[in-house]
Structure 1
Amino acid sequence: MKPFQAIGLCLMSLMFSLWLNSCSSPPSQVITLNFGGAGMIRSPMKEIEDLYQRDHPNVVINSIFAGSAVIQAAVERGEPFDGVFFADLPPLDKLQAKGLIVRERRKELLTTDIVAIAPVNSSLQLSDFRELTSDRIKTVAIGNNNLAMGRYTHSLLTRLGITQVVESKAVVVKVDVREVLAAVEQGEAEVGITYLSEAKSSAKVRVLATAPKDSYDPIRACGALVKASAHAQEMQAYLDFLSSDQAMAVFEKFGLHTVRS
């Protein structure tokens, strides 16, 4: 956790610039796509990228995963992204309002569950999220409102009427949802509130409880083509692939499912 928070948004911004500009120039026949993704899809994306590049060897995908606010700000600064994928709708709405994404090409694709996690060797038991108010739980890792996970968590705690108590024992993360997982793995928080896809990415944690779907705003993760993309056709083909049967089979392994209308 501490190394994550030491980076901060400013250094994350610098990392974007260095990452996006330091790639060596590929051969002329090779196309490089810069893709900014939500932490929610980080774990399955390496496998999905490999599947795609197996059939498209001339396409190189540079993916970076971070909180919504970080990626949104990078697109607004004009960093050379070709496509983005956020875990909730507000960041895309803001980019669309500024004319920075192609409205007709945005697509709601994935949803998942919100879960409470603990270290795999923890003796804690939790039958209901309201038990997070119990005195036996001293620390809970949650995201702040810069993160989609933080916004979903806030809606969950509010609907359950436990916001004040849980926030009084919160270990708040600010840059990336992966910090919630790291806080629990490293023992900096006894419990964390995160996506099921994050819980499934680590053998060091286990799921204590799953929040009822009617207790938080619906998770509707959405992708879009960045209007300034130099490779719009190729980026759109990759975004379309994310909804293919092949890609969805990988997402499903991590508890990510197709959004139902």
Structure 2
Amino acid sequence: MTHIVSTRRFWLASLLGLTLALGPLPARSADAPVVVFAAASLKNALDEATAAWGKETGKTAKMSYAGSNALAKQIESGAPADLFLSADLAWMDYAQKAGTIRPDTRVDLLRNAIVLIAPKDSSATLDLKPGVDLDRVLGDGRLAMGNVDAVPAGKYGKAALTALGAWDAVKDKVAQAENVRAALLLVARGEAPLGIVYASDAISDPSVKVIAAFPVDSHPPIVYPIARMKDSANEDAAGLLTWLRSPAARPFFEKQGFSVVGSEKKS
């Protein structure tokens, strides 16, 4: 009996000492960074924007970039995120139907465009109009795009090529990437002579150039919605979302080729 009491006292003393050594556990909502899951095409703009927010507020953000499809599935599987910024409405709709976002926080934040790019030293030229012979320009090369069934940029690209009557001729030459930045990299490295990316991606990489822009009526409008996650306990997430919608964030997005939803009315 004496041995049992002594053992209990030993463990209680040990736990007390460990608690005093570690100090009180920090509250996640107060000290943890805001975890942002964002479409890969946003990397340059969002890195700069959140850095400016952090400098202004003393708060921090932790970024996770990938294809919107992958991010929405990760969130559905329980990945801890505070904010989700998708490159299209469809994957935000998916997240909303899955019950992973707070619908009352959802807003359309940005717009973008898709363009045809080539390595900077390419001599290729093309006029993106109905009947365009993209296959001729590609030759034996590949057309780099995001996955056409899941990645927003890939879906927009396929829709545009279909509208222009060029999809059937090039569909077997498409190199499908897991996200738009991976498609950009294929062209930047010269592994693909042409690629379809966002205008913001083309701006971000000086080793590629824009051959032509796709007509805006050849594909659905490119809209980036943002929302806070249903299970987010970090109150700084609300502050960051509000800041990203404010005039203070606008220059960071416009510098990278995005347009801010609603800014057209103020121009």
TM-score of Structure 1 vs Structure 2, range by shorter chain: 0.7 to 0.9
Counterparts of 1:223 and 1:40, CA distance in 2? 14
Partner of 1:259: 261
- CA-CA distance at 1:131 after TM superposition: 3.6
Equivalent residue of 2:124, what SS?
coil
Counterparts of 1:50 and 1:258, CA distance in 2? 19
Equivalent residue runs for 1:4-83 within 5 Å: 30-57=31-58, 59-83=59-83
- CA-CA distance at 1:27 after TM superposition: 6.1
Equivalent residue runs for 1:125-204 within 5 Å: 125-128=125-128, 130-135=132-137, 137=139, 138-144=141-147, 145-173=149-177, 175-204=178-207
Deviations along 1:69-127, whole A, 9 cap, x unmatched?
Answer: 21011111111101100000111111111211000110111111110011111111122
Equivalent residue of 1:104, what SS?
helix
In structure 2, list runs of 5 or more residues that go unmatched. 1-24
Q: Name which one, 1 or 2, has greater alpha-carbon Rg.
A: 2
CA contact (8 A) 2:49 2:249 kept: yes
Counterparts of 1:77 and 1:208, CA distance in 2? 39
Amino acid at match of 1:56: T
In structure 1, list runs of 5 or more residues that go unmatched. 1-25
Counterparts of 2:133 and 2:114, CA distance in 1? 15
Q: Give the share of equivalent positions with the same residue, in percent.
A: 32
User: Does 2:228 align with 1:225?
Assistant: yes
Amino acid at match of 1:236: A
CA contact (8 A) 2:138 2:194 kept: no
Counterparts of 2:212 and 2:233, CA distance in 1? 44
Deviations along 1:148-195, whole A, 9 cap, x unmatched?
Answer: 11111121111112111121221111x221111110011111000010
Equivalent residue of 1:228, what SS?
coil
Equivalent residue of 1:134, what SS?
helix
- CA-CA distance at 1:135 after TM superposition: 4.9
- The 4+ residue runs of structure 1 with deviation greater than 4 A are 26-29
- CA-CA distance at 1:244 after TM superposition: 1.6
Q: TM-score, normalised by structure 2?
A: 0.83
Counterparts of 1:77 and 1:32, CA distance in 2? 21
Q: TM-score, normalised by structure 1?
A: 0.84
CA contact (8 A) 2:124 2:137 kept: no
Counterparts of 2:33 and 2:49, CA distance in 1? 16
Equivalent residue of 1:200, what SS?
helix
Counterparts of 2:109 and 2:259, CA distance in 1? 8
RMSD: 1.7
Identify which of 239, 242, 249 aligns with 1:240.
242
Partner of 1:111: 111
Equivalent residue of 1:123, what SS?
coil
- CA-CA distance at 1:136 after TM superposition: 5.2
Equivalent residue of 1:80, what SS?
coil
- CA-CA distance at 1:207 after TM superposition: 0.6
